[in-house]
Amino acid sequence: MNASLISLEIAVVALGLVLLLADLWLPTERKRFLGYAAAAALATLLVTNLGDGATGTAFNGMFVEDGLAVFFKRFFIVAAILVLLMAVEFSDRIASGISEYYSLIVFALSGMLFAASANNFAMLFVSIELITVTFYVLTSFQRGRLVSLEAGVKYLILGALSSAFMVYGIALVWGTTGKLNFNELAMVAAQFAGNKIFLLGVVLVLVGLGFKIAAFPFQIWAPDVYQGAPTPTTAFLAVGSKAAGFVLLLRVLFTAIPSVTAHWANPLIIISGITILYGNLCAIPQRNLKRLLGYSSIAHAGYLLLGVAALSASGQAAILYYLSGYLFTVLGAFTVICLVMRHLDREDISALAGLNQRSPLLATTLTLAMISLAGIPPMAGFFGKFLLLKAVLEQGATNPGYYCLAFTALAGVVISLYYYFGVIRAIYWSQDAPADLSPITLSGPAKVTIAICITGMFWIGLFPNTMLNLATEAVKALAR
């Protein structure tokens, strides 16, 4: 075993343990600043691993370090840093245990890092469970709020159900093929393409992954959990957990069973189209901003599935590019929600009234995030949707269903303009009288977080080549 390949994961787990131990000695008033220390430690790990080009396998091939893993690990660390900075701003809403909250974020990150390198169904299941179990606690961390406890219970029940489907599916795959390693399974998958037990096992595994990415018909948990969970938890769910689901989905479909996936274009087209329409249509009547973004997250899972349905390297690269822009866009939006609504009992869109007077910076950030989510140039969301649609249309000659899917995606974009611009209208032209027009004071780290998110949205949208080249290089690992 090449132990050096898992040094990053070991360091992250160690950081989580250090945060728990530091809680024992630090005075109460200093514990909230552990979030800054954790973010700085992760930033150090990110910088020190930027030039590390080591590749290989560990744990007898269960763990693989390749271009795709490196891309997603950097993605997850950046997301965790921004979420930790957000959590510090949110810490006054958490009655007790803020150090534990930070450590759980770090432990969830460790699960995501293992997921990025999963090359075996056993590693896939363990990493998914590490992510999911920590989010059970993170979701219901505000024990004094009934809505938070309700969200935690719903996520626990549905998450456990999806895990049951997944582990049963893994058992069926192993029982029919005798393989758990993705590379070994790829060599024999074609022989079992007509085996109904094997196919049932694969479908059950995909059901579990569909829950993670909130794709139809496994999306029912998302709006309630997004609404009830603490805002930093919701942000990490929307970005980190979804991306972990997609990297595992890519590994399973294009590394483990590529010969089977090649025949599943029509089901993938249907699921992608329905997910897009469901998320966008259900978002229209929402007044709670976090719930609205929950339905929006479902729609974006549908857009990302365009790249999966395309069954091509360009579609896979478009997924990675889209997720990169989605990272800065969503975290920028949730940072604003955290800062504006942290002292309110409600998270209604009407609470944004007068935000342009209270904090022009926050108003601008949320406006840019909505524009990017809607897919309007020059923001990151526009070019991401363009690449996904391009990948789908390239396959139109082989299957007319791809043209229908592209039309559905465009219809979803048009529908989304209504509710995204409803948020912008609430900021600048709301008919509701603002309950509070006092200026919002921002800390230095909060300003840094916002600056990073705005820079990311513009940079990925205006200068797409760098990120697209990184994504294109990363997905080459799937073709091996």
pLDDT tens digit sequence for 197-243? 999 999 999 999 998 898 988 888 888 899 888 889 999 999 988 99
- Closest alpha carbon to 205 in 231, 229, 177: 177
Q: C-alpha angle with apex 8: 316 to 107, nearest 5 degrees?
A: 85
pLDDT at residue number 199: 92
Predicted confidence at residue 57, as pLDDT, reads 77
Helix and strand totals (H; E) in the chain: 22, 2
Name which of 379, 357, 341 is nearest 437 in CA terms: 357
Nearest Cα neighbor of 10 from 166, 82, 1 is 1
Q: Is the pLDDT of residue 332 over 70?
A: yes
* Whether residue 401 has pLDDT greater than 80: yes
pLDDT on residue 43: 92
Q: What is the pLDDT of residue 62?
A: 85
Task: Pick 99 or 53 by higher pLDDT.
Answer: 99
> 136 near 238, Cβ under 8 Å?
no
pLDDT of residue 435: 58
pLDDT (0 to 100) of residue 112: 93
Could you check whether the bond before residue 27 is cis, i.e. omega within 30 degrees of 0? no
pLDDT at 50 over 80: no
The residues, any chain, with a CB within 8 Å of residue 465's CB and separated by 6 or more, are none
What is the per-residue pLDDT for 297?
Answer: 92
Instruction: Tell me, yes or no, if the pTM score tops 0.75.
Output: yes
Tokens of 382: 């526009």
Give residue 256's pLDDT band: very low, low, confident or very high (50, 70, 90). Answer: confident
Q: Provide the β-strand partners of residue 64.
A: 57
C-alpha closest to that of 409 among 317, 265, 307: 307
Mean pLDDT of 385-407: 90
Q: Is pLDDT at 434 greater than 70 in this prediction?
A: no
Angle between helices 360-374 and 313-341 (to 10 degrees): 150
How is residue 207 written in tokens?
Answer: 């059901």
| CA 251 – CA 253 distance, rounded (Å) | 6
CA 219 distance to own-chain centroid = 14
Residue 383 backbone zone (phi > 0: left; psi -120 to 50: alpha; other: beta): alpha
Q: Above 60 in pLDDT, residue 51?
A: no
H or E element in which residue 378 lies: none
Tokens of 22: 């530091």
Residues across the chain: 480
Given a contact cutoff of 8 angstroms between Cβ atoms, the answer to whether 178 and 221 are in contact is no
Over residues 83-105, the pLDDT tens digits come to 999 998 888 777 777 888 899 99
What ranges in 396-443 are assigned the alpha helix state H? 401-429
Written as six digits, the tokens of 390 are 């391009």
Q: Tell me, what's the pLDDT at 39? A: 92
Q: How would residue 47 be classed by pLDDT, with cut points 50, 70 and 90?
A: confident
**Quick one: angle between helices 313-341 and 242-251, nearest 10?**
170
Q: CA nearest 352: which of 440, 264, 245?
A: 440
Average pLDDT over residues 132-141: 90
Rounded to an integer, the average pLDDT of 287-305 is 92
- pLDDT of 480 > 70? The answer is no
- Asked if the model's pLDDT at residue 165 lies above 80, the reply is yes
Q: Looking at the predicted structure, is the pLDDT value of residue 1 above 60?
A: no
Q: pLDDT at position 12, please?
A: 92
d(CA 310, CA 239): 22
**What is the overall mean pLDDT for the chain?**
88
Asked whether the predicted pLDDT for residue 3 surpasses 80, the reply is no
Contact 57, 1 (CB under 8 A): no
Tokens 């944004």 belong to residue? 352
